[in-house]
Each structure stands twice: as C-alpha cells, then as structure tokens.
Structure 1
Amino acid sequence: MTAPQGSGPAAGPGEQDEPARGVLDPAGVVRLRLVVARLHRQLAQASAGQDLTFAQQSALARIEQHGPLRLGELAALERVAAPSMTRTVGPLVAAGLVSRVPDPNDGRSTLVELAPDGAGLLATIRQERSELLAGRVAALSPGEQAVLRDALPVLEHLLVEGGS
C-alpha cells in the first residue's frame, strides 16, 4: 500500500496513522473548546454584567456597533427570531440601558439605541474583563506570552470563519 502523493509514508502493519504535525486532533479540539468556554465564563463572572444574560450583553454590543436599529434588524444580526429579540430587549429598556426612539424614516416604527447607562455598563464590563485577562497574561512566562500573541491572528480567523 502506498501513500497518496504529497503525504508522509503509509502506516505499516500495526501502526496507527498519526495526525500531521500541527494538526489539531479531536482531543485537541475538545481542549480548545473547554478552555475557551471556561475562560469566557470566568471573564463573565468577574464583571459588572453578571445580571445580564449573554443574549442581552450581545444585543447591547450590537446596538453600540451598528447604531439605532429596528428590532428585526437586530434580530437578524444576532441570528434569532424577532420575538426572541423582543424578550431580550424588553428588560434592557426597563433597566434604562436601551432606549426606544421613533424611526425617522417610518413614523410607525421604532428603533432601539444604546442609552448612556448602557454605554457606561458596556465600558465597565470591557474594562473589568480586560483587567482580569491582562493580569492572567502578565503571569505567563515571556515565551508563553509570545505564543499567545502569535496565536491571536489564528483565533481571530476562527471568528471570521464562524460568521460572527
């Protein structure tokens, strides 16, 4: 049995195929997923936004990023149904983090925009999470910090591929 052109030698009898050097095997994918999930949870627990759901925090950030939006537009950006977005935004309006304003192009519609308290809360959440992460990174060795820095473009590429 011969290996396809361009690949390494075929596994001999009794040998297991090993992943190519640098390829993340299924166990590595599981480790990556767990690290990302646990780090996200730790960051969320260490910030002022603990009383907000993930969906609410994400909606606040989208509104900040895209400006005043119709609920349907926000729902499309968040990839959820409009009724779900209505349930997400309602408590944000009640808490004074988001405001409903008339749509200047259609008097029958309203837009949601970030209220000053919402902008302040987002800034606080980001600062607290960045401070926690900066402290953790500072505790790494210089070599580990370099590996992490070099991995950033790859991690950012994962976001692009995921459509976020």
Structure 2
Amino acid sequence: MNDTDGRGGATPAAVALIVARLYRQLAQASADDLNLTYAQLSALARIGQFGPIRLGELAAREQVAAPSLTRTVRPLSEAGLIGKEADPSDGRSWLVSITPEGSALLDRIRRERAELLTRRMAWLTQDQRRTLDAALPVLEQLLTEPPEPEGP
C-alpha cells in the first residue's frame, strides 16, 4: 500500500488503516470477557458522559435510529449497567443514566486501554514520543468537520 500522497504526506487510507488497527487493539484489550458489542459500549460511554439522557437524544448522538438504539441499550439495562426513569418533563419519554456498576465497568475498560498504550509507548524513542506529541493536535483536528468555505 502506498502510504504517502506523493507530496510526502500520509494518505487518507493509511491514516484510516492505522487508526482502525490501533482502535481494534484497544477494544480487544478490554472486550474479552464483556459480552458487549461495540455499539453497546459506545452507548454506555455516551450515557456516562451525557446522562441522564433521553433515548432519542442518545440515538442522535450515536447517529443511529431510535428503534436500533432501544435494542442496543436493552442488554445494558438487563445487566444493571444503566437505569431508566420516566422523564419528569415528559411522562411519555424515558431518561437513561449509568449505574455505579456501569461506571465501574467503564473505568476498568479505560484503565486496561491506558495500560496497553503505556506498555506500547514505552517502546518509543524520545524522538518518536515528540513526534507523537506533535501529531496529537492534528489527529484531534481530524475529529472535527472542516469549516465551510467562505463565499465566492
């Protein structure tokens, strides 16, 4: 695979491949005994971050259809990782929030992922660490939408 764009820069395909492989390794570092899907872990993390939250708002944040999200969060509720209660401002809606068990699970996952990265980063030279430090703001920028071009 050609990993540069001909001008000395990384290709989108190379960046996507490396980021995906790193994410997969991080996910596998903590997923062996969880019996939870990626979608369920993502929803749990969002509930922990934004909860209590309506399912419709959670679906929008996860960029999935509400019925799909309902199927995703049901096992989280059954496992005691989230709780739900009627929305006091709209009795037809439900709010979901993370339970202490769900928070403990997320803490464990984050700790295991950080431990893996710590071990991997220990192999890096000082120059490689500086390069990684310099790359972090660029990677962060890739997470945002580019600004709209200004008029003609």
TM-score range, shorter chain: 0.7 to 0.9
- Sequence identity percentage: 58
1:22 Cα deviation after fit: 4.4
What are structure 2's unaligned runs of at least 5 residues? 147-152
SS at match of 2:64: coil
The residue aligned with 1:67 is 51
Pick the aligned partner of 2:61 from 77, 86, 90.
Answer: 77
Matched, 1:111 2:123: no
Alignment of 1:5-154 (within 5 A): 21-24=7-10, 28-48=11-31, 50-154=34-138
| Alpha-carbon contact 1:63-1:114 (below 8 Å) kept | yes
SS at match of 1:161: coil
1: distance between equivalents of 2:94 and 2:76? Answer: 15
Worse-matched range after superposition: 105-114 or 131-140: 105-114
| Alpha-carbon contact 1:63-1:69 (below 8 Å) kept | yes
2: distance between equivalents of 1:117 and 1:144? Answer: 38
TM-score normalised by L of structure 1: 0.80
| Alpha-carbon contact 1:99-1:114 (below 8 Å) kept | yes
Q: CA RMSD in A?
A: 1.9
SS at match of 2:143: helix
> Could you tell me which amino acid in structure 2 is paired with residue 149 of structure 1?
D
Worse-matched range after superposition: 97-106 or 146-155: 97-106
Worse-matched range after superposition: 107-116 or 125-134: 107-116
> Could you tell me which amino acid in structure 2 is paired with residue 124 of structure 1?
R
TM-score normalised by L of structure 2: 0.86
C-alpha distance 19-54 of structure 1, shift in aligned 2 (>3 A): closer
The residue aligned with 1:6 is none
1:161 Cα deviation after fit: 2.5
1:107 Cα deviation after fit: 2.4
SS at match of 2:94: strand
SS at match of 1:111: strand
SS at match of 2:124: coil
C-alpha distance 19-38 of structure 1, shift in aligned 2 (>3 A): closer
> Could you tell me which amino acid in structure 2 is paired with residue 32 of structure 1?
V
What are structure 1's unaligned runs of at least 5 residues? 1-17
